[in-house]
Structure 1
Amino acid sequence: MNRLLIAEDEARIAAFLEKGFRAQGFTTTVAKNGHEAIAMARSDDFDLLILDLGLPGKDGWQVLSEIRGRGERLRIIVLTAQDEVEDTVNALENGANDYVTKPFELSELLARVRVPNVVDAYIKLLRKKLGSDSIETVRGIGYRFRA
Structure 2
Amino acid sequence: MSQILMIEDEPRISSFVAKGLKAEGLTTTVAATGREGLVLALTGGFDLVILDLGLPDLDGFEVLERIRAQDRQLPVIILTARTSGEDTVTGLTSGADDYVPKPFRFAELVARVRLRLRGDNGGARAVEDPVLRHADLALDPVRHVATIDGVEVDLSAREFSLAEAFLRHPGQALSREQLLSRVWGYDFDPGSNVVDVYVRYLRTKLGVTRFATVRGVGYRLVAEKDYRPYQPEDD
**Which residue number corresponds to residue 135 of structure 1?**
none
Decide whether aligned partners of structure 1 residues 71 and 46 sit closer, same or farther in structure 2, where only a CA change above 3 A counts.
closer
Deviations 1:54-77 (A, max 9, x none): 111112111101011123421100
TM-score, normalised with respect to structure 1: 0.66
Decide whether aligned partners of structure 1 residues 88 and 15 sit closer, same or farther in structure 2, where only a CA change above 3 A counts.
same
Over the aligned positions, Cα root-mean-square deviation in angstroms equals 3.3
Aligned pairs for 1:1-147 within 5 A: 2-84=2-84, 86-93=85-92, 95-96=93-94, 98-100=95-97, 109-112=112-115, 121=181, 124-125=184-185
**More contact order relative to length (CA 8 Å, sep ≥ 6):** 1
Does the CA-based 8 Å contact 1:89-1:100 persist in structure 2?
A: no
Decide whether aligned partners of structure 1 residues 26 and 91 sit closer, same or farther in structure 2, where only a CA change above 3 A counts.
same
SS of corresponding position for 2:43: coil
Identity rate of aligned residues, in percent?
35
Structure 2, unpaired ranges of 5+: 99-108, 118-128, 130-140, 142-160, 166-177, 189-235
Decide whether aligned partners of structure 1 residues 122 and 9 sit closer, same or farther in structure 2, where only a CA change above 3 A counts.
farther
Indicate the structure with greater helix content.
1
Deviations 1:91-129 (A, max 9, x none): 224x33x5359xxxx9974452569669x848744997x
Does the CA-based 8 Å contact 2:21-2:110 persist in structure 1?
A: no
Residue identity matched to 1:7:
I
Does the CA-based 8 Å contact 2:34-2:55 persist in structure 1?
A: yes
**Which residue number corresponds to residue 153 of structure 2?**
none
SS of corresponding position for 2:77: strand
Number of aligned residues: 121
Deviations 1:24-83 (A, max 9, x none): 011110000000001101125210000000111112111101011123421100011125
The structure with the largest alpha-carbon Rg is 2
SS of corresponding position for 1:42: helix
